[in-house]
């Protein structure tokens, strides 16, 4: 099978020739993997080929102006205006969201906040990207597309976002609706430019923590699900499956998304409540495909090569029967993951992930 055929077969909950494979990682481990394979630091495609990755993302290119000024000691997103600061730790570093420039904003300030226009993107590059990756499973979007709470939190802070949802705060809700409207229109134009060469839409929302939902079901049904429906409607109009990234304990919401057109779920953080692979396979295996399950906080990060191989084998044994599984890390592979463990992880998928 081609990668495209392999992924679409898995999304249809059938058995392909082997389990499809995906990859995402933090910069430190990404750099070490490229060094291992003798690749240039920016050779993302070469690394994906070396690991046997079956997925490729495409996107329009932003061609508009920078909308937000720089701030000393911060990295400011030029399109959306959120701030991050560089935080180092023993195994690497990351950019942490900070300052939250709209935390105390009223409705007028939210309306004045600069956001990109869908007209500021170059969609002419989309079809060529699709053609270049025609043998792979091509997707539009990512784990952050349509994500409400995290994205609003980048500008408001998570505490304020929860208050906004609980109190129907007009400024917080207007911020959410503004950025979702831009994302939806950009996505619509990307799919239009692709002219049928995209295989699925990828969206996301972090719905849970380790032991339960982030918000009440009442708030979820009032503020979250209705705002995701237009993205599902767009996918349905293009006859595309939807994969949704859902961090933490989030299987409680799957029954609400399936009628909208949810085909596959991503992340599948096995340590969280009701997210164990066996539970997911038994409860949803006849209705959903699965993408993830390989914990970035488990043996891949903290164990030996032998423990990593054993862990990956156990996940495959649970998730493979009957098809419908894509092998991937739960989140970005972390910089504290030994290079040899990550290599063993993908080697195990290649050796033991075959159906025939």
* Domains of the chain as residue ranges with CATH: 3-62+117-146+173-352 (3.20.20.210)
List the structure tokens of 87.
Answer: 């935080």
Q: Among candidates 207, 201, 259, 285, which has minimal Cα distance to 10?
A: 285
Alpha carbon distance 211, 214 (integer Å): 9
User: Is the pTM above the cut of 0.85?
Assistant: yes
Which pLDDT belongs to residue 113? 98
Around Cβ 89, how many Cβ atoms within 10 Å? Answer: 9
Which pLDDT belongs to residue 45? 98
Give Cα separations from 26 to 4, 6, 94, 256, 307 (angstroms).
25, 26, 8, 32, 22
Alpha carbon distance 308, 314 (integer Å): 10
Which pLDDT belongs to residue 283? 98
Alpha carbon distance 96, 50 (integer Å): 30
Alpha carbon distance 288, 343 (integer Å): 28
Give Cα separations from 169 to 69, 98, 207, 282 (angstroms).
27, 22, 20, 40
List the structure tokens of 157.
Answer: 């802070």
- Could you read off the pLDDT of 187-240 as tens digits, one per residue? 999 999 999 999 999 999 999 999 999 999 999 999 999 999 999 999 999 999
Q: Tell me phi and psi for residue 117, to 5 degrees.
A: -100, 150
Which pLDDT belongs to residue 257? 98
- Rounded to 10 degrees, the C-alpha dihedral 111/112/114/116 comes to 40
Share of the chain above pLDDT 90, in %: 99
- Could you read off the pLDDT of 59-87 as tens digits, one per residue? 999 999 999 999 999 999 999 999 999 99
Give Cα separations from 67 to 77, 112, 180 (angstroms).
9, 12, 18
State CA 289 to chain mean position distance.
Answer: 15
- Could you read off the pLDDT of 142-190 as tens digits, one per residue? 999 999 999 999 999 999 999 999 999 999 999 999 999 999 999 999 9
Checking if the pLDDT of 95 tops 90, the result is yes
- The angle, 0 to 180 degrees and rounded to 10, between the axes of the packed helices 149-156 and 158-167 is 120
Q: Are 318 and 290 in contact (CB under 8 A)?
A: no
Detail the DSSP E strand segments found in the chain. Answer: 55-58, 61-62, 75-76, 83-89, 92-98, 121-122, 137-141, 200-204, 242-246, 262-267, 289-294, 325-329
pLDDT band at 92 (very low <50, low <70, confident <90, very high): confident
What's the length of the chain? 356
Cβ neighbours for 272, distance < 8 A, ≥ 6 positions apart: 208, 209, 210, 211, 248, 249, 250
Average pLDDT, whole number, for the chain? 97
**What average pLDDT score do residues 337-355 get?**
98
Which pLDDT belongs to residue 82? 98
Which pLDDT belongs to residue 356? 77
């Amino acid at each position: 099978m081609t990668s495209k055929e392999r992924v679409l077969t898995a999304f249809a909950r059938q058995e392909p020739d082997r389990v499809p494979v995906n990859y995402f990682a933090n910069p430190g481990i990404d750099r070490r993997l490229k060094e291992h394979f003798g690749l240039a630091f920016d050779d993302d495609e070469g690394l994906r080929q070396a690991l046997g990755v079956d997925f490729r993302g495409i996107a329009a290119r932003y061609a508009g102006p920078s909308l937000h000024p720089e701030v000393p000691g911060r990295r400011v997103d030029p399109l959306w205006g959120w701030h991050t600061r560089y935080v180092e730790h023993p195994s690497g570093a990351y950019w942490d969201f900070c300052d939250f420039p709209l935390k105390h904003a009223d409705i007028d300030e939210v309306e004045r906040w600069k956001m990109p226009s869908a007209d500021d993107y170059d969609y002419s590059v989309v079809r060529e990207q699709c053609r270049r990756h025609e043998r792979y499973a091509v997707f539009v979007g990512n784990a952050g597309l349509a994500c409400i709470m995290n994205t609003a939190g980048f500008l408001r802070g998570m505490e304020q976002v929860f208050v906004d949802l609980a109190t129907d705060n007009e400024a917080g809700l207007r911020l959410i609706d503004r950025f979702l409207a831009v994302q939806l229109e950009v996505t619509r134009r990307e799919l239009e430019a692709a002219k049928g060469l995209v295989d699925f839409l990828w969206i996301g929302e972090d719905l849970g923590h380790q032991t339960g939902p982030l918000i009440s079901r009442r708030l979820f049904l009032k503020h979250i699900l209705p705002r995701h429906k237009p993205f599902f409607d767009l996918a349905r109009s293009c006859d595309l499956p939807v994969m949704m990234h859902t961090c933490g304990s989030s299987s409680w919401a799957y029954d609400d998304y399936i009628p909208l057109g949810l085909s596959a779920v991503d992340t599948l953080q096995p340590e969280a409540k009701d997210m164990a692979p066996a539970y997911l396979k038994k409860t949803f295996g006849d209705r959903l495909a699965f993408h993830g399950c390989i914990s970035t906080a488990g043996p891949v990060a903290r164990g030996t090569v032998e423990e990593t191989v054993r862990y990956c084998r156990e996940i495959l044994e649970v998730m493979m029967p009957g098809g419908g599984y894509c092998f991937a890390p739960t989140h970005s592979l972390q910089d504290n993951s030994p290079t040899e463990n990550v290599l063993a992880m993908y080697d195990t998928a290649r050796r033991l992930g075959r159906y025939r």
